[in-house]
Chain A
Amino acid sequence: NAGVTQTPKFQVLKTGQSMTLQCAQDMNHEYMSWYRQDPGMGLRLIHYSVGAGITDQGEVPNGYNVSRSTTEDFPLRLLSAAPSQTSVYFCASSYSGFGRGSYNEQFFGPGTRLTVL
Chain B
Amino acid sequence: AQRVTQPEKLLSVFKGAPVELKCNYSYSGSPELFWYVQYSRQRLQLLLRHISRESIKGFTADLNKGETSFHLKKPFAQEEDSAMYYCARNAGKSTFGDGTTLTVKP
Contact = CB atoms under 8 A, between A and B. Distances in A.
Interface of A: 31, 33, 35, 40-45, 48, 50, 58-59, 90, 92, 94, 96-98, 100-106, 108-111
A59 B3 CA distance: 12
Contacts of A40: 9, 98
Contacts, number: 72
Given A40-B98, A42-B98, A42-B99, A103 B51 contact: yes
The SS class assigned to the B binding surface is loop
Contacts of B92: 31, 33, 48, 50, 94, 96-98, 102, 104, 106
Contacts of B99: 42
B32 A101 contact: yes
Interface in B6-54: 6, 9, 30, 32, 34, 36, 43-46, 49, 51
Contacts of B30: 100
B94 A45 contact: yes
B91 A103 contact: yes
B15 to A, nearest CB: 27
B91 A108 contact: no
B91 A97 contact: yes
B70 interface: no
B93 A97 contact: yes
Contacts of B96: 35, 42-44
> Which residue of B46, B90, B93 has the most chain A CB atoms within 10 A of its CB atom?
B93
A41 B99 CA distance: 8
A95 B93 CA distance: 12
Contact of A105 (B49, B93, B95): B49
Interface string B45-88: 11001010000000000000000000000000000000000101
A97 B92 CA distance: 4
